[in-house]
């Protein structure tokens, strides 16, 4: 079926297929066409341009977008949306003065979520996760990465990854799966981290590879979690099974996680709330995408990733939600874009680039999503009537999305 969208007030993020990411000063440029049309055939973008350039297409359906804008759907390259229950009590504990670290040290945090998930059936876990996925799609997300890491046993990690696989099969949106067995050290291995690493390496990874359950391998490289040496070991082994590294680094401390990730050609390094000049120098030598997670900084009241420093170093930057029950119980990319502008001093152009084309790169999905490009998936957002695209971050907390299209079909209304 051919659908023609006409009178688009502004068609945002129009790119040639050769552009895979934007870095440094390029991030401040957001190519758009005012008074545009967009043509899609079935699930693919086939043409776009100025309204007065429309030629005689044979069209099944015409959609008038007067006053409205179209932009590519958000690319959320870092989430943990498969989890069981919630950690609302820890939220209240933090309000009452405990720190995220203190809660984790008392057996809360990731281990609390793992306990809940281990007791939850695969079907229940799927239902809870599918609901979250529907919710973020309605908020404009059109490609997503989902991590394991709340199982922490062979069975529970496999259960999580199978749930992700089922989401992949049942939803109309590109999903990438990441194995994050090295998310925390389970209670029973507290004095035997080596034993847990061996479990990941000798039992989890071979099973995951055999069932083809993951695209990427991740680890939480942080004081109190996993060291640089552990990271080196896990990433090397993951790569042997064909998994591409994407890591949690520099959330609270800069301990060399970026260097070891870059050594393994990581696709992305995520968090980066604490970033040294040496870290920036290492990133400059790489193709690795730095990823900031401003909703996590907001929720935990920790520093924001120094976006200006990253961009001024001529590096690229992507934005993602980190949707998870502990540090970021929100999957709203509109809020992420607004917060990046408000708190990280990114311009609307930089933030939209970071949340679309650079997010797609951070998932190895540049060929399919992240821009309005001929041949890419017809995954896009039609906004409500707005005066400018800067209005999206400016009106933080307001839902300006009218319709989300995934593969040429309406996903919400």
Footprint of Fe ion (CB under 5 A): 322
**Smallest gap, in angstroms, from Cβ of residue 124 to ligand NIG?**
19
Q: Give 217 or 381: the residue with its C-beta nearer to Fe ion.
A: 217
- Could you give the count of Cα atoms lying within 13 Å of 14 in the half-sphere of its Cβ? 20
Which residue's Cβ has the minimum distance to ligand NIG?
326
Q: Which does 142 bind (CB under 5 to 8 A by kind): ligand NIG, Fe ion, none?
A: none
Report the residue number, 129 or 373, with the smaller CB distance to ligand NIG. 129
Nearer to ligand NIG, 133 or 296 (CB): 296
Helix (H, G, I), strand (E, B) or coil at 171: coil
Cβ count near 189 (within 10 Å): 16
Q: Smallest distance from the beta carbon of 388 to ligand NIG, in angstroms?
A: 33
| Contact criterion met (CB below 8 Å) for 52 and 383 | no
Q: Is 109 in the site for ligand NIG (CB under 6 A)?
A: yes
Residues ≥6 apart with Cβ < 8 Å to 208: 157, 158, 161, 179, 214, 241
Q: Which is nearer to ligand NIG, 154 or 302 (CB)?
A: 302
Q: Which is nearer to ligand NIG, 327 or 339 (CB)?
A: 327
Here's the x/- map for ligand NIG, 348-387, by CB under 6 A: it reads as ----------------------------------------
* CB nearer to Fe ion: pick between 10 and 322: 322
Q: Which does 110 bind (CB under 5 to 8 A by kind): ligand NIG, Fe ion, none?
A: ligand NIG
As measured in angstroms, the least distance from the Cβ of 183 to ligand NIG is 6
One DSSP character per residue, 182-234 reads: ETS--GGGTT-HHHHHHHIIIIIHHHHHHTT--SEEEEEESTTSB-HHHHHHH
- With a CB cutoff of 8 Å and minimum separation 6, the contacts of 94 are 100, 103, 300
CB of 221 to Fe ion, least distance (A): 12
Q: In 3D, which of 345, 403, 347, 349 has the Cα closest to residue 69?
A: 403
296 binds, among Fe ion, ligand NIG, none (CB under 5 to 8 A by kind): ligand NIG
Measure the CA angle with vertex 209, ends 133 and 240; round to 5°. Answer: 120
The residue from 36, 296, 311, 336 that contacts ligand NIG (CB under 6 A) is 296
Q: How far is the CB of 321 from Fe ion (least distance, A)?
A: 9
Which residues are CB-neighbours of 379 under 8 A, at least 6 positions away?
72, 73, 142, 143, 173, 369, 405, 406, 407
Q: Cα dist. 194→149, 183, 185, 199, 330 in Å?
A: 17, 14, 10, 9, 34
Q: How many CA atoms lie within 13 A of 270 on its CB side?
A: 29
Which of Fe ion, ligand NIG, none interacts with 245 (beta carbon under 5 to 8 A by kind)? none
Interacting positions 211-250 with ligand NIG (CB under 6 A): 220, 248
C-alpha span between 99 and 245 (Å, rounded): 29
| Alpha-helical segments (H) within 313-377 | 333-344, 348-355, 357-361
Among ligand NIG, Fe ion, none, residue 327 binds (CB under 5-8 Å by kind): ligand NIG
Picked from Fe ion, ligand NIG, none, the partner binding residue 393 (CB below 5 to 8 A depending on kind) is none
Closest approach, Cβ 105 to ligand NIG, in A, equals: 13
313 to 332, contacts with ligand NIG by CB under 6 A?
Answer: 322, 324-327
User: Hey, what are 362's tokens?
Assistant: 């951070």
Site for ligand NIG in 24-63 (CB under 6 A): none
Cβ 344 vs Cβ 308: under 8 Å: yes
Is the backbone of residue 268 left (phi > 0), alpha (psi -120 to 50) or beta?
A: beta
Our measurement of the distance from residue 329's CA atom to the centroid of its chain's CA atoms, rounded to an integer in Å, reads 14
- Using CB distances below 5 to 8 A depending on partner kind, what does residue 405 bind out of Fe ion, ligand NIG, none? none
Minimum CB distance to ligand NIG smaller for 109 or for 245: 109
CA–CA separation, 209 vs 118, rounded Å? 21
Partner in contact with 370, chosen from Fe ion, ligand NIG, none, beta carbon below 5 to 8 Å by kind: none
Q: How far apart are CA 92 and CA 111, in angstroms?
A: 18
Residue with the CB atom nearest Fe ion in the bound state? 322
Q: Write each residue from 112 to 131 as x if it is in contact with ligand NIG (CB under 6 A), else as -, in one continuous string.
A: -x------------------
Contact positions toward ligand NIG, by CB under 6 A? 109-110, 113, 220, 248, 251, 296, 322, 324-327
């Amino acid at each position: 079926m051919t659908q023609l969208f006409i009178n688009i007030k502004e068609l945002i993020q129009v790119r040639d297929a050769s552009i895979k990411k934007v870095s440094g000063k390029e991030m401040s440029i957001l190519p758009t066409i005012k008074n545009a049309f967009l043509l899609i055939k079935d699930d693919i973008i086939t043409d776009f341009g100025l309204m007065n350039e429309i030629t005689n297409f044979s069209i099944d359906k015409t959609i008038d977008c007067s006053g409205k804008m179209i932009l590519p759907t958000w690319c959320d390259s870092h989430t943990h949306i498969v989890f069981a229950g919630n950690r609302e009590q820890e939220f209240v504990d933090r309000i009452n003065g405990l720190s995220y670290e203190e809660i984790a040290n008392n057996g809360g945090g990731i281990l609390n979520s793992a306990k809940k998930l281990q007791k939850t059936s695969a079907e229940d876990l799927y239902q809870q996760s599918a609901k979250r996925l529907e919710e973020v799609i309605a908020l404009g997300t059109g490609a997503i990465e989902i991590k394991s890491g709340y199982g922490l046993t062979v069975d529970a990690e496999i259960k999580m990854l199978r749930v992700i696989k089922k989401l992949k099969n049942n939803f109309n949106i590109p999903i990438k799966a990441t194995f994050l067995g090295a998310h925390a050290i389970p209670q029973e291995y507290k004095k035997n981290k080596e034993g847990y690493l061996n479990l990941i390496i000798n039992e989890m990874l071979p099973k995951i590879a055999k069932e083809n359950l993951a695209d990427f391998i991740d680890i939480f490289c942080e004081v109190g979690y996993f060291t640089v040496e552990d990271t080196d070991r896990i990433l090397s082994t993951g790569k042997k099974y064909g998994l591409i590294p994407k890591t949690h680094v520099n959330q609270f401390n800069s301990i060399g996680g970026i260097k070891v990730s870059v050594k393994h050609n990581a696709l992305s390094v995520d968090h980066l709330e604490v970033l040294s000049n040496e870290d920036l120098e290492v990133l400059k030598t790489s193709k690795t995408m730095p990823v900031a997670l401003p909703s996590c900084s907001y929720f935990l009241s920790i520093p924001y990733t120094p976006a200006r420093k990253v961009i001024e170093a001529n590096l690229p930057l992507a934005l993602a939600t980190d949707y998870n029950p502990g540090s970021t119980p929100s999957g709203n990319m509109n809020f992420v874009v607004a917060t990046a502008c408000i708190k990280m001093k990114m311009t609307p152009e930089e933030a939209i680039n970071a949340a679309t084309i650079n997010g797609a790169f951070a998932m190895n999905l540049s060929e399919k999503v992240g821009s309005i490009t001929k041949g890419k998936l017809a995954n896009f957002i039609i906004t409500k009537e707005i005066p400018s695209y800067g209005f999206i971050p400016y009106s933080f907390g307001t839902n300006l999305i009218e319709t989300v299209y995934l593969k040429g079909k309406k996903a919400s209304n």
